[in-house]
């Protein structure tokens, strides 16, 4: 059975993740809660257990573990030590001793990508890093694989044929097949992580502070998720006023609750996903019951790009890319050969064009109702006649 993965990000993500894991476990699914949010052990404090990389059973069907950046960093370097030794010898570098190693900036992302495929549970709930960092992490496998394909293409025969020539020109021996073996190992590890991220059961759940909902910031995050094809299954508004607060005799409380209700309604309409409002109950069980009063939430189908054929009427093909939450002022669009560079605010992605569109030129684009529509006109020099 494929693992259902829920990545929960935002303020109070530790509490929401713990309550979500408790809900799934008490529904009978073997569940692993993975703490990957921060080094301050918020999940540990909630559970009253000091977590480590080995899963600890909390109750039937529920276990928890903490992502270990140090162990992941060491394991990654150990895996490439032998393969990179010839290159290190070539430049006279001395390998670092394992006891000297400490995680570098960015290793938390690599540690999370390494942990995702190794989860052994029906449901994996991740107390994830903040939204911007999470999106960058989930986009990393595709980006790194693209870089590897450019720097070390799989067609090794060309490299073998040129090696003697390059060695003669440079005056030093060229890297051996160990370099390509390291590339293959890296590709395999990236593919494992990418398979989990792209799996139908993987979704992201955002948490916001109901007192400061920030609709525009949330919309930008939503656009970043959509840009990378990451489905958002729900938004949780934590610390919301009770439903009856709008009728309070206290004018300040009634006014604050009414404004909060309006802002949350705007967010629900804007993002077109379920909005779950929860207060601050005393226990995780009470929080789980508020979050899931009618069972587990639905798993949304990912919004896939699609091509509209208007060749007969307008001599155009239109590529529709769902980007809910995007603002036209934040969008960037650039054609580079057989690829399209898309930007939504601070988020950027390079996507390969479908084969039919590679023989076309970009003739325009527009954003309507959360969908970016890019118009392509067939290039007469490349498009088959008739």
Asked whether residue 232 falls in the same domain as residue 364, the answer is no
Residue written as tokens 């039937």?
60
| 108, part of any domain | yes
**pLDDT tens-digit series, residues 287-303:** 888 888 766 667 777 77
pLDDT for res 167: 46
Asked whether residue 291 falls in the same domain as residue 323, the answer is no
Q: Is the pLDDT of residue 92 over 60?
A: no
Q: Is the pLDDT of residue 43 over 60?
A: yes
Asked whether residue 275 falls in the same domain as residue 135, the answer is yes
pLDDT for res 84: 54
DSSP secondary structure string for all residues of 11-62: TTHHHHHHHHHHHHHHTT--EEEEE-S-TT-HHHHHHTS---SS-EEEETTE
| 41, part of any domain | yes
pLDDT for res 30: 95
Report the CATH number at residue 133: 3.40.50.300
pLDDT for res 385: 66
**pLDDT tens-digit series, residues 303-340:** 789 999 998 889 999 999 999 888 889 999 999 989 99
| 383, part of any domain | no
Asked whether residue 253 falls in the same domain as residue 344, the answer is no
pLDDT for res 96: 56
**pLDDT tens-digit series, residues 236-263:** 988 888 777 778 888 888 888 888 888 8
Contacts of 115 (CB under 8 A, 6+ apart): 34, 36, 67, 72
pLDDT for res 85: 55
Residue written as tokens 């109901």?
210
| 330, part of any domain | yes
* Domain final residue pick, 253, 274, 301: 301
**pLDDT tens-digit series, residues 338-362:** 999 999 988 999 999 999 899 999 9
Asked whether residue 141 falls in the same domain as residue 212, the answer is yes
Q: Is the pLDDT of residue 158 over 60?
A: no
Average pLDDT over residues 274-297: 80
| 157, part of any domain | yes
Asked whether residue 234 falls in the same domain as residue 117, the answer is yes
Q: Where is mean pLDDT largest: 91-100, 147-156, 314-323, 377-386?
A: 314-323
Average pLDDT over residues 96-118: 73
Q: Is the pLDDT of residue 154 over 90?
A: no
Query: How many independent structural domains does the chain possess?
Result: 2
Contacts of 74 (CB under 8 A, 6+ apart): 98, 101
Average pLDDT over residues 43-57: 90
pLDDT for res 170: 45
Asked whether residue 320 falls in the same domain as residue 349, the answer is yes
Average pLDDT over residues 147-176: 56
| 370, part of any domain | yes
pLDDT for res 157: 45
Q: Is the pLDDT of residue 103 over 60?
A: no
Assign 163 a pLDDT band (cuts: 50, 70, 90).
low
Asked whether residue 198 falls in the same domain as residue 323, the answer is no
Chain-wide mean pLDDT for the chain? Answer: 82
Report the CATH number at residue 321: 2.60.40.790
CA distance 316 to 318: 6
Average pLDDT over residues 121-139: 93
| 94, part of any domain | yes
pLDDT for res 166: 44
Assign 129 a pLDDT band (cuts: 50, 70, 90).
very high
% of the chain at pLDDT higher than 70 = 80
Q: Which of 17, 66, 62 is nearest to 38 (CA)?
A: 66
Assign 86 a pLDDT band (cuts: 50, 70, 90).
low
| 295, part of any domain | yes
Residue written as tokens 């398979």?
195
Asked whether residue 290 falls in the same domain as residue 314, the answer is no
pLDDT for res 40: 75
Give the per-residue SS3 of 91-142.
Answer: HCCCCCCHHHCCCCCCHHHHHHHHHHHHCCCCEEEEECCCHHHHHHHHHHHH
Asked whether residue 256 falls in the same domain as residue 332, the answer is no
Q: Is the pLDDT of residue 21 over 50?
A: yes
Residue range(s) defining the domain that contains residue 337: 306-378
Average pLDDT over residues 46-73: 86
């Amino acid at each position: 059975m494929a693992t259902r993965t829920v990545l929960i990000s935002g303020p109070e993500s530790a509490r929401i993740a713990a309550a979500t894991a408790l809900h799934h476990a008490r529904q009978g699914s073997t569940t692993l809660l993975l703490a990957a949010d921060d080094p301050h052990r918020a999940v540990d404090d909630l559970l009253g257990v000091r977590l480590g990389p080995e899963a600890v059973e909390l109750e039937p069907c529920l276990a928890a573990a903490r992502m270990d950046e140090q162990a992941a960093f060491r394991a990654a370097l150990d895996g490439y030590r032998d393969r990179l030794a010839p290159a290190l010898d070539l430049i006279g570098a001395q390998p670092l001793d394992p006891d000297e190693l400490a995680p570098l900036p960015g290793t938390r992302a690599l540690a999370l990508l390494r942990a995702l495929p190794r989860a052994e549970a029906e449901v994996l709930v991740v107390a994830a890093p903040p939204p911007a960092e999470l999106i960058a992490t989930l986009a990393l496998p595709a980006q790194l694989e693209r870089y590897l394909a450019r720097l070390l293409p799989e067609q090794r025969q060309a490299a073998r044929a040129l090696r003697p020539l390059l060695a003669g020109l440079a005056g030093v021996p060229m890297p051996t097949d160990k370099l390509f073996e390291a590339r293959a190992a890296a590709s395999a590890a990236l593919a494992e992580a990418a398979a989990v991220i792209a799996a139908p059961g993987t979704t992201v759940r955002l948490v916001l502070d109901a007192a400061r909902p920030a609709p525009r910031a949330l919309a930008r995050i939503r656009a970043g998720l959509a840009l990378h094809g990451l489905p958002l299954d729900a938004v949780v508004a934590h610390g919301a006023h009770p439903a009856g607060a709008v009728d309070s005799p206290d004018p300040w409380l009634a006014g604050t609750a009414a404004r909060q209700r309006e802002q949350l309604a705007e967010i629900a309409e804007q993002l077109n996903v379920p909005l779950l409002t929860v207060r601050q109950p005393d226990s995780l069980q009470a929080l789980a019951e508020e979050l899931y009063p009618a069972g587990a939430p639905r798993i949304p189908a990912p919004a896939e790009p699609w091509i509209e054929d208007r060749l007969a009427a307008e001599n155009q093909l239109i590529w529709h890319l769902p980007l809910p939450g995007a603002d036209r002022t934040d969008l960037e669009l650039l054609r580079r050969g057989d690829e399209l560079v898309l930007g939504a605010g601070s988020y950027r992605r390079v996507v390969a064009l479908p084969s039919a569109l590679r023989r076309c030129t970009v003739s325009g684009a527009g954003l309507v109702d959360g969908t970016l529509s890019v118009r392509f006109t067939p290039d007469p020099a490349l498009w088959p006649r008739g």
